[in-house]
A and B are shown apart, each in its own frame.
Chain A
Amino acid sequence: MHQVSSAARTEIGPSIEELKGTAQVIRRDIITMIHAAQAGHPGGSLSATDIVTALYFRIMRLDPADPHWPDRDRFILSKGHACPVWYAALAERGFFDKTHLATLRKLDSILQGHADMKKTPGIDMTVGSLGQGICAGLGMALAGKLHGKDYHVFVMIGDGESQEGSVWEAALAAPRWKLDNLTVIVDNNGIQNDTFTDDIMPVEPLAEKWRAFRWNVIEIDGHKMEEIVPALESCLYRDPPDSAGAEGHQPEDCDTTVTRRPGIPTVIIAKTVKGRGVSFMENVPAWHGAAPNDAQAQAALAEFAEGLR
C-alpha cells in the first residue's frame, strides 16, 4: 500500500456542519468562474455541489499532492458540462491553485469548457459527451478488481443524461461483473437542456428501472448532508474509515448503516434542485447553460454570503 504521505489522509474529516460551509464556498466559486467566463452551466453545477463536496472533503481517499496515486478513489462527473463544480472542489481541496478558476474556457487554460483529464490535475476522466463517463467508470471498477485494489469509483450522471442508451449498457454490465466497487449517483434535478425532463423524455421511475437492472438503490435528498454522507459511506467497497481505523477517521455525526451487499453495485438517486442555492436560478430551465451578468452574479454572491453567516 501507498504510504500515506499527506496529512489530508490522516486527519479527522470535516463534520457535517463544516461540509455545509465548504459547499457554500464552492457555490460561490462556481458563480464567480462562470460569470468571469460569461459562459458555462450553473444549474447543473449547483445541483451537484453538496454531493461533490461530500465526496471530495469526506468520503474519497485521495492525495492532492499526488493526483495520479494508483490507490486513490475515482470520481467521474459524467455530466461533464457541470465541470465548474468539479474545478471548484478540486481547487478548494488543493489540487491546483485557485487563481486558475478565473481562466475557465479561455485560451491556454487548464480548465476546459468540458473537463480534460490531461489538462487538469485531479480530473479522473475526460468528459463532455453525455453517457460515456459511466462506461469509463465501469472500466475503472473492472480494473480495480483485476488489480486487487480496494479503491472505489464514483460516477455522477444527470437525469437527462439517463436518456442515453449507453447509460443502460453500463447499468446492465456492472451487476454482471459484480462491481460493488462502483457507485453511480443520479443528480435527479428534473431539468435537461431544453426544459423539464418530464416534458422532453421522462426517465422516471428511475428507482424501479435501476432495481430491475439488479442494482442496490438508495434514494436521498441530494442537498441534505445528513443523508448524502451516510449514503455514500454505506456503499464504499472497503469499510468506512471509522471501522477500519487505518485511514483516519470521521466525526461520528451521522448514522451510517452499511447497506452494501457483496457483488452488487449501488446507485444513489439524489433528488436535487437545479440551480440550488441561488433563488432566481432554482428550478428554472433557462439557467442550464447561461452565465449570470454582473448584477445577477452579485445578487447570487450576496445570497451565499447570507448563507455562510
Chain B
Amino acid sequence: MSDHPSRYHHVLPEIVEQLASDKPFGAAKMQATRYSYADAMLELGERNPDVVVLDADVSKSMRTNDFAKRFPERSFNFGIAEQNMMAAAAGMATTGLIPFASTYAVFASLRALDQVRNSIHYPRLNVKIAASHSGITPGPDGVTHQGQEDLSLLRAIANSTVVAPADPVSAKLAVHAAAAYDGPVYLSFTRDPVPTIYSPDFPLRLGRAVVVRDGWDATIIALRDLVAHALVAAARLAEAGLEVRVIDCHTLKPLDVECVLRAAHETGAIVTAENNVIFGGLGSAVAEVLVENHPIPMQRIGVRDIFTESGPYLALLDKYGMSARHMAEAVRQVMARKRRA
C-alpha cells in the first residue's frame, strides 16, 4: 500500500510504494556505496587533474582500481600502510593536489587516527578520507573490520566535516560536494549493498539535512544505511495512524542545528538512528543541541556499549537493535513520554 506519497521528498515513487510491505526494498536497485564512491572518482578524475587517489591495498574491494586503470599516474597504492598513506596525503595537499585517501573505516579512523588528526585536520589540509566498511556493514568479517566508531571519532576532531550518505545516489553527490569543498572531509561508505532510495534531484549540500518524509507526531533523524530503515519504520507507523518525520542527516558535522530544532519544536519527540556506537555520534550531537536549546523526549538507536560479531549485515542490525522495528518501538516510547510531559 502507498501511504501518502506526497509526504515523501526525493524518495523514488517505487520505493514509497513498497515501504510498508514485507519486502520494502524488493524493487530497489541495490549497490554498496563504496562502489558509488569509485564511480564518482572516475567522473572527478576526468574533470579535475588535481584529484589523486591513494589506496592501502583495498583498491580491489573499493573498486578504486578502476581509477588506477584510467589514471595510472594519479593513483598511488601504498600497500598495507595506512599511516603512511594519510600523512603522505597531507603532504600532497600542501602542493594543491586533492588527495582521496581510501581504506576501510576502522583503519582510516583508528589505525591512522593520529595522522588524520595531526597531519590533516590540525593544519586543515584539503584531504578527503574515503572510508568503506563503516558501521557494522561488513557483517561476516567480524569486529576487526567493522568501523563502528568512525563517525564519533572523526566528529571529535576540530576542523572536521563528516559525511555519511544514505544511498548510492546521495553517495555520489556527496563525493562531488566533498571535492568542491576546501578542507578535510571524511566520507563514510557501506561495505554491503544498500537500496537506491533517492531520485537524482536529491539536494545534497554539506551541512544541510534533508527532510525526506513529513510528519508531526515525532521525528526520526538518521544517517547512512539507517535512513532506509527509518523510512520503513515511518511507513509502518503511518499504517497505525502516526505521522513521523524522517530526516536524512547525511552531514553529521557540521550538524544542521536549525533542521534539528525545527523538528524538536514541530514534532516534540526525536529518535536518532545510526549504525555507529551511541557515544559521540549522531545521537550525541542531537542530544547536545536539544539539551542546550529545547529539551524534549529523545531516544538513541545505535550500537550500544558492545562489540558485535560476525554475521549477515541485516541479521546483525536486527540482533543489535537497529532495524525498523526497533525504531518504531522507540518512536512509540518517545511519544508516550511526550504525552506524559
Residues A113 and B79 in contact in the complex (CB < 8 Å), given A107-B309, A193-B58: no
Known: A129-B106, A194-B57. A116 touches B143 (CB 8 A): yes
The residue in chain B whose Cβ has the minimal distance to the Cβ of A111 is: B310
User: Which chain A residues numbered 185 to 224 have a C-beta less than 8 Å away from chain B?
Assistant: 192-195, 197, 200-201
Contacts of A129 in B (CB 8 A): 106-107, 111, 144
Task: Please judge, given known A-B contacts A105-B310, A129-B106, whether A113 and B77 are in contact too, CB under 8 Å.
Answer: no
CB < 8 Å neighbour of B80 from A37, A109, A127, A164: A164
Q: Of B58, B61, B141, which is in contact with the most chain A CB atoms at under 10 Å from its CB?
A: B141
Q: How many residues of A contact B (CB 8 A)?
A: 32
Q: Which of A112, A165, A193, A201 contacts B142 (CB 8 A)?
A: A112
User: How far in angstroms is the closest Cβ of chain B from A76?
Assistant: 14
Bound-complex Cα distance A237 to B315 (A) = 46
Q: Which of B59, B111, B309, B310 contacts A194 (CB 8 A)?
A: B59
Residue tally, chain B, CB below 8 Å to A: 30
Closest chain A residue, CB of each to CB of B307: A116
Closest residue of chain A to B82, judged by CB? A164
Bound-complex Cα distance A294 to B142 (A): 24
The residue from B81, B107, B143 contacting A112, defined by CB atoms under 8 A apart: B143
CA distance A201 to B88 in the complex (A): 15
Contact of B144 among A80, A106, A108, A289 (CB under 8 A): A80
Distance from A156 Cβ to chain B, minimum over Cβ atoms (Å):
15
Point out the residue from B80, B140, B309, B311 that lies within 8 Å of A192, measured CB to CB.
B80
Which 6 pairs of residues, A with B, have the shortest CB-CB distance?
A: A128-B144, A201-B79, A107-B311, A113-B142, A163-B79, A105-B140
Q: B81 — which chain A residues lie within 8 A by C-beta?
A: 163-165, 201
Residues of B73-127 at the interface with A, using a CB-CB cut-off of 8 Å, are 77-81, 83-84, 106-107, 111
For the complex formed, measure the closest distance between the CB of A177 and the CB atoms of chain B, giving whole angstroms.
24
Whether, in the assembled complex, A161 has its beta carbon less than 8 Å from a beta carbon of chain B, the answer is: yes
- Flag A252-283 by CB within 8 Å of B: 1 or 0 each: 00000000000000000000000000000000
Please tell me if the beta carbons of B57 and A160 are within 8 angstroms of each other in the complex.
yes
State whether the Cβ of A121 lies closer than 8 Å to any Cβ in chain B. no
Q: In the complex, what residue of chain B is closest to A104 when comparing beta carbons?
A: B310
Q: Would you call A102 an interface residue if the criterion is a C-beta within 8 Å of the partner chain's C-beta atoms? A: no
In the complex, per-residue mask of B39-80: 1 if CB is within 8 Å of any chain A CB, else 0: 000000000000000010111110001000000000001111
Task: Spell out B's residues near A (CB within 8 Å).
Answer: 55, 57-61, 65, 77-81, 83-84, 106-107, 111, 140-145, 309-312, 315-316, 319
Closest A residue by C-beta to B316: A107
| A39 interface residue per 8 A CB criterion | yes
Contact assessment for A109 and B58 in the assembled complex, using a CB-CB cutoff below 8 Å: no
1/0 per residue, CB under 8 A from B, across A24-68: the answer is 000000000000010100000000000000000000000000000
| A residues with CB within 8 A of B | 37, 39, 80, 105-109, 111-114, 116, 126-131, 160-161, 163-165, 192-195, 197, 200-201, 289
Cβ contacts under 8 Å, B316 to chain A: 107
User: Given A165-B83, A192-B57, A200-B57, 7 other A-B contacts at CB below 8 A?
Assistant: A107-B309, A107-B315, A108-B311, A164-B80, A193-B60, A201-B78, A289-B61
CB contacts (< 8 Å) of A106 on chain B: these are 140, 310-311
Q: In the complex, A160 Cα to B79 Cα: how many Å?
A: 7
Q: Which of B61, B140, B142 contacts A116 (CB 8 A)?
A: B142
Give Cα distance in the complex from A80 to B80, angstroms: 14
Chain A residues with CB under 8 A of B140: 37, 39, 105-106, 113
With contacts defined as CB atoms under 8 Å apart, how many contacts are there between chain A and chain B in the complex? 95
Q: Find out whether the CB atom of B309 lies under 8 angstroms from the CB atom of A112.
A: yes
Task: State the Cβ distance, B138 to closest chain A Cβ, in Å.
Answer: 8
What A residues does B61 contact at CB under 8 A?
193, 289
CB distance from B55 to the nearest CB of A (A): 7
A195 to B77, alpha carbons, bound, how many Å?
11
**Closest-CB distance, A127 to chain B (whole angstroms):** 7
Contacting pair B60 A194 (CB below 8 A): yes
Query: Given the complex, which residues of B lie within 8 Å of A201, measured CB to CB?
Result: 57, 77-81
| Other-chain contact of A128, B57, B59, B145 (Cβ < 8 Å) | B145
Task: Specify which chain B residues have a CB less than 8 angstroms from the CB of A113 in the assembled complex.
Answer: 140-142, 144-145, 310
**Pairs across A and B, CB under 8 Å, 30 listed:** A39-B141, A105-B141, A105-B311, A106-B140, A107-B310, A107-B312, A107-B315, A112-B143, A112-B310, A113-B141, A113-B142, A114-B145, A127-B144, A128-B141, A130-B80, A131-B80, A160-B79, A160-B80, A164-B80, A164-B81, A165-B83, A165-B84, A192-B79, A193-B61, A194-B55, A194-B77, A195-B60, A201-B78, A201-B79, A201-B81
Q: What are the residues of chain B within 8 A of A114 when measuring CB–CB?
A: 141-145
Chain B residues near A160 (CB-CB < 8 A): 57, 79-80
Shortest CB-to-CB span from A193 to chain B, Å, is 5
